[in-house]
C-alpha cells in the first residue's frame, strides 16, 4: 500500500493513504542502509492493524529531491517570507535562500509580509528589484489578509515549504491561509524587535488535494555547503547573460579584471545589493571549503 509521509515525530511517522492516516515505524534495514524516511517521502507500507491504523514502512520510493535540514523530500516550491519591517528585511538571507532554491531546482516564491508597517514603502523597491530578476513576488499583510488569495493560488498543486527568519510572520500566514491556528505563532521581543522561534516540529498541512504546505524549524538557516563556491554564479540567475563577457574562463566575478558581471553591476544592470550579497556568500563558501579538512 502506497502512502505519503505528512509528519515525523521521533521514530514514528504519520502516513496519509487516501483519506486515512496510519502511524508507522521504519524497518530496521533502512538504518543499516543509512537511509531514513522523511516528511514528503512517498513510501510503501505494510498495515499491521487496520483498526488501530498501525503500519511499518517497507520501501521509500525514488525522491525528486532531498533537503538535509530540515529533513524533507519531494518539495516542489519554497515560499521565502521576508518581513518589510520588524524585523527589518534580511536580503542576504533571502539571496542565500534563492541560491539554495536554484541549486535544488525548486521553484521559489518571495513573500514580502507586514507591508502595512513599512511607512517608507521600501517593500515596493525590494519587490521591483526581485521581480525584474524574474522571481514571483507577493506583497502581503497576514493580519489584515492582504495578498492571501494570491498566495493561496500559488500554493495549489504544490508541496511548499515556508522559509524565513523568526518573526517574519510565517506561522501567521499559514494560519491565515487555513483560517484557523494550525501552527504556533512566533513572538517579537519588544526590547529589540527580533523574532523568537516557536515552531518546533516538521509537519505537512493539507490545503486541498495535491496541495500541502509546511512550517519548518531551521529552514531560515539553509545548509548551503553543498554549493561549491565556483558554481555559485550559476544560482544568481541574472548573472548568466553577462558571464560570456568575462575575459577569463572560470571568472568568479570577485577580483578579476574585465569581468562582465562587475561591469553590468557598474552600469546598474545588476543590483549592487545582490552583487554584494553574492560576494559575501562566495567568500563564506570559499572559507568553508578551505577549512573542510
Instruction: Give the range among 170-174, 213-217, 243-247 with minimum mean pLDDT.
Output: 213-217
Cα 169 to Cα 187: distance, rounded to the nearest angstrom? 9
Mean per-residue pLDDT for 69-88? 90
Cα 11 to chain centroid distance, Å, stands at 24
Which cell goes with 2? 502506497
State the pLDDT at residue 191. Answer: 38
Q: pLDDT value at position 179?
A: 86
Q: How far apart are CA 198 and CA 210, in angstroms?
A: 27
pLDDT at 6: 94
Which grid coordinates are listed for 210? 495535491
Which has more pLDDT, 88 or 130? 130
Q: Give the position of cell 535540514.
A: 69
Taking residues 112-118, what's their average pLDDT? 91
Q: Angle formed by the axes of helices 272-290 and 91-104, to 10°? A: 70
Average pLDDT over every residue of 7-31:
89
pLDDT band at 143 (very low <50, low <70, confident <90, very high): confident
DSSP-assigned letters across all residues of 213-260: EEE-TTTTS--GGGS-GGGGGGGSGGGHHHHTT-SSTT--SSS-SS-H
State yes or no: pLDDT of 50 exceeds 80: yes
The candidate with the shortest Cα–Cα distance to 286, out of 241, 254, 242, 240, is: 254
Above 50 in pLDDT, residue 113? yes
Percentage of the chain with pLDDT > 70? 90
Q: Give 293's pLDDT tier (boundaries 50, 70, 90).
A: low
Q: Grade residue 286 by pLDDT with cuts at 50, 70 and 90.
A: very high
Quote the percentage of the chain above a pLDDT of 90: 66
pLDDT at 96 over 70: yes
Residue 1 CB contacts under 8 Å (≥ 6 apart), including other chains: 17, 44, 45, 46, 47, 55
Q: Grid cell 508597517 — which residue? A: 117
What percent of the chain is helix, strand and coil (3-state, nearest 5)?
30, 30, 40
pLDDT at 222: 66
List all residues 6 or more positions away from 156 whose beta carbon is below 8 Å from its beta carbon: 207, 208, 210, 211
Identify whether the C-beta of residue 214 lies closer than 8 Å to the C-beta of residue 203. Answer: yes
What mean pLDDT do residues 268-272 have?
Answer: 96
- Residue 192 pLDDT: 43
How far, in whole angstroms, is CA 103 from its chain's centroid? Answer: 12
Under DSSP, the state recorded for 28 is H
- Residue 197 has a pLDDT of 42
Choice among 63-77, 102-116, 160-174, 267-281 with the minimum mean pLDDT: 160-174
Q: What is the mean pLDDT of the chain?
A: 88
Amino acid at each position: 500500500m502506497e502512502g505519503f509521509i505528512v509528519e515525523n515525530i521521533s521514530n514514528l511517522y504519520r502516513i496519509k493513504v487516501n483519506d486515512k492516516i496510519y502511524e508507522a515505524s521504519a524497518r530496521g534495514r533502512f538504518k543499516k542502509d543509512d537511509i531514513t524516511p522523511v516528511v514528503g517521502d512517498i513510501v510503501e507500507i505494510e498495515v499491521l492493524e487496520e483498526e488501530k491504523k498501525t503500519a511499518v514502512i517497507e520501501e521509500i520510493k525514488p525522491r525528486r529531491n532531498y533537503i538535509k535540514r530540515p529533513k524533507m523530500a519531494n518539495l516542489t516550491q519554497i515560499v521565502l517570507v521576508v518581513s518589510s519591517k520588524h524585523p527589518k528585511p534580511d536580503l542576504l538571507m533571502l539571496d542565500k535562500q534563492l541560491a539554495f532554491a536554484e541549486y535544488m531546482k525548486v521553484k521559489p516564491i518571495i513573500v514580502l509580509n507586514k507591508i502595512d508597517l513599512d511607512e517608507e514603502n521600501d517593500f515596493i523597491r525590494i519587490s521591483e528589484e526581485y521581480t525584474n530578476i524574474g522571481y514571483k513576488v507577493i506583497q502581503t499583510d497576514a493580519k489584515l489578509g492582504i495578498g492571501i488569495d494570491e498566495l493561496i493560488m500559488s500554493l495549489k498543486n504544490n508541496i511548499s515549504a515556508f522559509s524565513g527568519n523568526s518573526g517574519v510572520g510565517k506561522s501567521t500566514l499559514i494560519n491565515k491561509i487555513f483560517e484557523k491556528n494550525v501552527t504556533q505563532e512566533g513572538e517579537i521581543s519588544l526590547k529589540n524587535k527580533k523574532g523568537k522561534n516557536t515552531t518546533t516540529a516538521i509537519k505537512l498541512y493539507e490545503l486541498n488535494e495535491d496541495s500541502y504546505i509546511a512550517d519548518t524549524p531551521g529552514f531560515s538557516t539553509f545548509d548551503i555547503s553543498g554549493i561549491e563556491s565556483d558554481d555559485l554564479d550559476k544560482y544568481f540567475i541574472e548573472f548568466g547573460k553577462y558571464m560570456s563577457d568575462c575575459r577569463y574562463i572560470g571568472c568568479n566575478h570577485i577580483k578579476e579584471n574585465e569581468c562582465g558581471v562587475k561591469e553590468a553591476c557598474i552600469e546598474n544592470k545588476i543590483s549592487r545589493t545582490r552583487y554584494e550579497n553574492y560576494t559575501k556568500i562566495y567568500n563564506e563558501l570559499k572559507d568553508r571549503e578551505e577549512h573542510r579538512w
